[in-house]
Structure 1
Amino acid sequence: MLRFFRTIRQRLLSNNKFSSYLLYAIGEILLVVIGILIALQVNNWNEGRLERKEEVEVLKSVKKDLANTIKEFQYLNQIRDKVLYGTRGLFQAAGTDGVKGQELDSLIGLTFYRPTFNNKQGAITLLFTSGKINLIQNDSIRELLLSWPGLIDDMVEEEVFAVKLFQDSYYPALSKYVFLDGIIVTAMSTSFFGTITPEKRYSTLPIETDYNGLLADRDFLNHLRMRATHMQITKGETHDMILHANGIIALIDEEIGR
């Protein structure tokens, strides 16, 4: 092809047809420019196709992450409901005579659960650390994902505070009146997680739990009430995050399907 164009140029120059040669040269330049533009267009199209393919894979990974997180949130809220059941039961028992010790042990055992989010979100974490968030072209999806880490941090902060209050306040107030050996055995044998862990008493000491003293202690009842409050707060935050995550998943399905 190059030899063909070179032959034409030489023939025009040898015949002193300068004007024809000039037009030919301009035409040749235009052909080269057009060829370059076409090559660039093809290259851009190919890059766009590869970026779109990567974007779809990223969105699928994020969707899987969110689906797993929703399952964990639902599980954590089941635990919180059991803790709340225990706190309400103890308050009701505080104003009731003749409540059996084993029933109270079961209620106290429920208040020991400390649900916490494991915060393992590989795809979402990688999305931010690698800068791949910029691959997502859908503004709504990107904005919802950008707000996600802040929501997680708020919920985890509340969980950490609730655990600290349990360790520093609730448990000390409780341990003044109860002997945990019996409570632990009862709690383990009535597990609501679907697996019962065999547990035997560690002690045969004649130490009795003072249920009346416990349910009349103002400090204990105040800490019990705050424990319920923190469970309600984290349950509400988790519920809102489930809605948030489902909203992102719906947008991702729509984006992938277009």
Structure 2
Amino acid sequence: MIKFFRKIRQKTLAESPPALPAGETGRAGKFGKYLLYATGEIILVVIGILIALSINTWNLDLQNAKQEKQILTQLLEEYKNNLYQLNSKIFIRDEIITSSVKLVDYSNLDTDLISSDSLNRYLSRTITRPTFDPALGVSNDLTNSRRLYLLTNPELREQISAFSSSLSELREEETIIVNWVEERFYPFLIKHYQIGRLNVEFLDDEKFREKVTQIKFKKQKSLKELFAQSDPTDLLNHPDFEDFLSLLIVNTTYTNDQSLGVKLKIENIIALIEEEIEK
């Protein structure tokens, strides 16, 4: 196309004005040739601009695609870590529920039949206060910098944009339990039981402690001998003890139900990310 108009231009410039009758007809013929030449020049310029724009768009698309791959990799790591943390919190709550049920059973047994180590271990688990604290640095950066458009999958964009706000109900339930344990249940235990051995049991319960803290600990010497074992009769026979445990079971179960809903959202986001990476 460009060569075609170049030939027209060269031919037009090389040709001598044709021998035409004097008057308007001759001038019109000459004007027509130069009009054709000018039109060709304009078309060439337009074509050049369109080609430049196409190349620029192509380069921009390549850059965006490269950025998207990097972002997807970062998001995948972020949400896999969050899923691992959430699964740990679900596990902890399951242990709280199991421990609470065991303690209800203990309240109906003779204290001579109860292992003090088991009692302290179950009690120590009931006062843990797990909360899901996801790391959302990459997601928040994309949202705050208005770069979510780099994610070409609209469903993935929507899921990531809405994820933080979807945690509100879970956080509300977690806050209720944390406040209740700290303000009601823990003071009740201190009043009716010596909690020294209870706290030591938490330190000795390494696998469970790693789930709570997300940190792997080295084996430590037990501090159990520093604290005398308290008689659990007053605690186990107290009429409010079973009520506290029933509330803990119900609230923790409901919070885990909320956690399972969040888990499904995270797993869906991970699946979408992996699908995009594999394209």
- Where on the TM-score scale, by shorter chain, does this alignment land: which range? 0.7 to 0.9
Computed over aligned residues only, the root mean square deviation of the Cα atoms, in angstroms, reads 2.7
1:62 match: 75
> Alignment partner for residue 199 of structure 2, among 184, 194, 199?
184
> Does residue 35 of the first structure (1) align with residue 56 of the second (2)?
no
2:260 match: 239
* Matched residue count: 255
Classify 1:145/1:7 alpha carbon distance in 2 versus 1 (closer, same or farther; 3 Å): same
TM-score, with normalisation over the residues of structure 2? Answer: 0.80
Whole-Å Cα distance in 2 between the matches of residues 155 and 183 of structure 1? 28
Paired residues of 2:75 and 2:139 also in contact (CA < 8 A)? yes
Deviations 1:114-138 (A, max 9, x none): 2122332221121222112222221
> Alignment partner for residue 238 of structure 2, among 207, 213, 217?
217
Gaps of 5+ in 2: 19-26, 211-216
| Partner amino acid, structure 2, of 1:129 | N
Q: Compare CA radii of gyration and give the structure with the larger one.
A: 2
Whole-Å Cα distance in 2 between the matches of residues 229 and 26 of structure 1? 82
How far the C-alpha of 1:190 sits from its partner, in A, is 3.2
| Partner amino acid, structure 1, of 2:221 | P
> Does residue 248 of the first structure (1) align with residue 261 of the second (2)?
no
> Alignment partner for residue 138 of structure 1, among 131, 153, 164?
153
* Worse overlay, 160-169 or 188-197: 188-197
> Does residue 226 of the first structure (1) align with residue 247 of the second (2)?
yes
> Does residue 128 of the first structure (1) align with residue 146 of the second (2)?
no
> Does residue 25 of the first structure (1) align with residue 38 of the second (2)?
yes
1:82 match: 95
How far the C-alpha of 1:141 sits from its partner, in A, is 1.0
Gaps of 5+ in 1: none
| Partner amino acid, structure 1, of 2:159 | L
1:48 match: 61
Classify 1:13/1:21 alpha carbon distance in 2 versus 1 (closer, same or farther; 3 Å): farther
State the SS of the aligned residue for 1:192.
Answer: helix
Deviations 1:163-218 (A, max 9, x none): 111000111111111101122223322333464543425866x7x63422212323
